[in-house]
């Protein structure tokens, strides 16, 4: 079996970012990966402006006038200000352009004004409460790098800088398929031994969150000809993600069909849950065969499919882990695999506490839906005690975040 890091590295070495790009409006680019380095068309701020409501002054006028000046102008955001007359001040609102000649703004709370005259206390330093043109973003300045994911905050920066469109990588077309004769769609009547397909909708949702265009192949029975036909249909996509059928049972046929129609690059990874994982090529697609147990499917998606999809779109994957204190003991005899424990997180006296759920079975999706993260127990580590430091991968993008629950509720 390959170690987690080795398996992920081999997958990422295989994946090639798509060279195909498209130009989209900035407002429609959220979640996409940049294929260019956009630059600012205008500086931000575009002009010197007031950082707050107050009075624009010449600092030397205040010294000469003994702290009292007539109010000559009243300026709001959007006004085109004329020059500030000698020996006078201007009432000014936040964001309004600084009138030529003014070199400071005094906040209104420090001014005694009656409309026509303003009386000041201690003179402000030059530049006080003035936002200088270009101090945030210079004209022509780079706003983001190629390969960066477009966030709502970046959209705000792009729009501020006058960028209307950006070039991004094409979305991957992903085929999602579940295998198993026992599977039925939600809403159908269940017969003896049958269960609802939970993997396909969950995996499709996670892929759409990443920005993929998903084809839902539904589910196929454990019949090799049906599987062959489904994978033939899937082969013209960019990525193929299946769940189930990759273990060693008599009806686990995914690896056989993949070997017939494509190639297997790796199989079995030293993680728990999720050991029976396969990666390879199917036609023009990168292929990911995930385990059938729901928790195993979601964990292997997080560890392998998500990084690969990000790389395919030109981004750079990084594993995010945060330190926390263990809220309960955990010990294991066998330590040959990296184990991911579903856990709930909560702050306690300035510390982040991670409490593993009491039931960690790979088929217990209810626990995962109530978890906030995965405690990572590295291979070779036999566990941890209460209060010891642990590392946690947050997973709130697929789980509900709420108050800590009692162990009975887990």
Q: Can you list the domains of the chain with their CATH numbers?
A: 4-18+171-312 (3.40.980.10), 21-44+135-169 (3.90.105.10), 49-131 (2.170.190.11), 322-409 (2.40.340.10)
Report pTM.
0.87
- Closest C-alpha among 285, 308, 175 to residue 238: 285
Signed CA dihedral, 362, 363, 365, 370: sign only: negative
- Which pLDDT tens digits describe the chain residue by residue (410 residues)? 899 999 999 999 999 999 999 999 999 999 999 999 999 999 999 999 999 999 999 999 988 888 899 999 999 999 999 999 999 999 999 999 999 999 999 999 999 999 899 999 888 999 999 999 999 999 999 999 999 999 999 999 999 999 999 999 999 999 999 999 999 999 999 999 999 999 999 999 999 999 999 999 999 999 999 999 999 999 999 999 999 988 766 667 898 999 999 999 999 999 999 999 999 999 999 999 999 999 999 999 999 999 999 999 999 998 889 999 999 999 999 999 999 999 999 999 999 999 999 888 776 777 777 888 999 999 999 999 999 999 999 885 544 444 444 433 44
The per-residue pLDDT for 223 is 92
């Amino acid at each position: 079996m390959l170690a987690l890091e080795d398996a992920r590295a081999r997958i990422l070495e295989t994946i090639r970012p798509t060279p195909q790009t498209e130009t989209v409006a900035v407002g429609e680019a959220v979640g996409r990966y940049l294929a260019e380095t956009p630059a600012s068309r205008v500086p931000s701020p575009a002009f010197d402006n007031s950082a707050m409501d107050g009075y624009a002054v010449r600092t030397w006028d205040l010294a000469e006038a003994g702290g009292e000046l007539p109010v000559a102008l009243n300026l709001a955001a959007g006004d085109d200000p004329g020059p500030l007359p000698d020996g006078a001040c201007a009432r000014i609102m936040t964001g309004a352009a600084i009138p030529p000649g003014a070199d400071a703004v005094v906040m209104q709370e420090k001014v005694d004004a009656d409309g026509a005259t303003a009386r000041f206390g201690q003179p402000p330093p030059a530049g006080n409460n003035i936002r200088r043109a270009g101090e945030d973003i210079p004209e022509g300045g780079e706003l983001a790098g190629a390969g960066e994911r477009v966030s709502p905050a970046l959209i705000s920066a792009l729009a501020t800088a006058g960028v209307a469109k950006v070039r991004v990588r094409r979305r991957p077309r992903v085929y999602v398929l579940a295998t198993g004769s026992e599977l039925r769609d939600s809403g159908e009547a269940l017969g003896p031994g049958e269960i609802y397909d939970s993997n396909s909708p969950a995996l499709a949702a996670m892929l759409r969150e990443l920005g993929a265009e998903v084809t839902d192949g539904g589910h196929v029975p454990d019949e090799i000809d049906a599987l062959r036909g489904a994978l033939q249909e899937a082969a013209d996509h960019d990525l193929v993600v299946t769940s189930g059928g990759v273990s060693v049972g008599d009806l686990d046929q995914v690896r056989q069909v993949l070997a017939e129609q494509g190639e297997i690059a790796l199989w079995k990874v030293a993680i728990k849950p999720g050991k029976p994982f396969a990666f390879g090529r199917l036609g023009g697609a990168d292929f990911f065969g995930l385990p059938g147990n729901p928790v195993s499917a979601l964990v292997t998606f997080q560890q392998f499919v998500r990084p690969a999809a990000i790389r395919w779109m030109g981004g750079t994957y990084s594993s995010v882990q945060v330190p926390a204190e263990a809220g309960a003991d955990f010990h294991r005899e066998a330590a040959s695999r990296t184990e991911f424990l579903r856990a709930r997180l909560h702050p306690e006296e300035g510390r982040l506490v991670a409490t593993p759920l009491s039931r960690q079975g790979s088929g217990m999706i209810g626990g995962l839906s109530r978890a906030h993260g995965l405690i990572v127990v590295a291979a070779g580590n036999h566990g941890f005690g209460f209060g010891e430091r642990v590392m946690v991968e947050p997973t709130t993008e697929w789980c509900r975040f709420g108050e800590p629950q009692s162990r009975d509720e887990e």
